[in-house]
Amino acid sequence: MREKGLALIAGLLFGLGLGISQMIDRERVLGFLDIAGNWDPTLAFVMGGAVLVTLISFRFILRRPHPIFSSKFYLPTRNDIDRLLLVGAGLFGIGWGIAGYCPGPAITATVLGIANPFIFLVAMIAGSLTFQAIAPRLASPKSAAPSQPLAK
């Protein structure tokens, strides 16, 4: 239960941050991505502020044997830069550029009472399930062998 309460508080902070930074306004996001237009640097400050905090805090947190409410850290274990990562990230950027939403802002922007974030989220879930359905056929030999030695 305390994990759920903590998740609620963390979610509140995340949504509040997206609101205050106005990342829930897709024009703000597109204004950052539009380097040939009237460039809006706001997103760089949002990303910079967030990473500044995690760069410092994660160092201290990950030095501890385990998190406060749990017996282990649930961290991605892979370190290799493979084709699925780069193609996936590349596609994500294309979709982000077309819609002006990425997953976080789209979720929080639903409170604005407009249809676009809802349409985006339904399509996003459909895209995610589509990849999940075809993923077994795309798996590279590398990613099919989770037993390979992994650095943290």
Q: Which of residues 97-126 bind another protein (CB under 8 A)?
A: 97-104, 106-112, 114-117, 119-126
For 68, which DSSP code? S
To 5 degrees, how large is the angle CA 52–CA 75–CA 2? 85
Q: Which residue in 79, 145, 146, 148 binds another protein (CB under 8 A)?
A: 79
Q: What single string gives the DSSP state of each residue in 2-27?
A: HHHHHHHHHHHHHHHHHHHTTTTSHH
Closest distance of CB 13 from another protein, Å? 4
72 binds another protein (CB under 8 A): yes
What does the radius of gyration of the chain's CA atoms come to, in whole angstroms? Answer: 18
- Answer yes or no: are the C-beta atoms of 83 and 140 closer than 8 Å: yes
Q: Using CB under 8 A, count the residues that bind another protein.
A: 114
CB of residue 145 vs another protein: minimum separation in angstroms? Answer: 17
> Is 140 a residue that touches another protein (CB under 8 A)?
no
Residues 10 to 69: which contact another protein by CB under 8 A?
10-28, 30, 33-37, 40-55, 57-58, 61-62, 66-69
Task: Look up residue 100 and give its DSSP letter.
Answer: S
Cβ proximity to another protein: between 65 and 147 the closer is 65
Tell me: does residue 142 bind another protein (CB under 8 A).
no
| Closer Cβ to another protein, 126 or 147, answer by number | 126
CA distance 137 to 140: 9
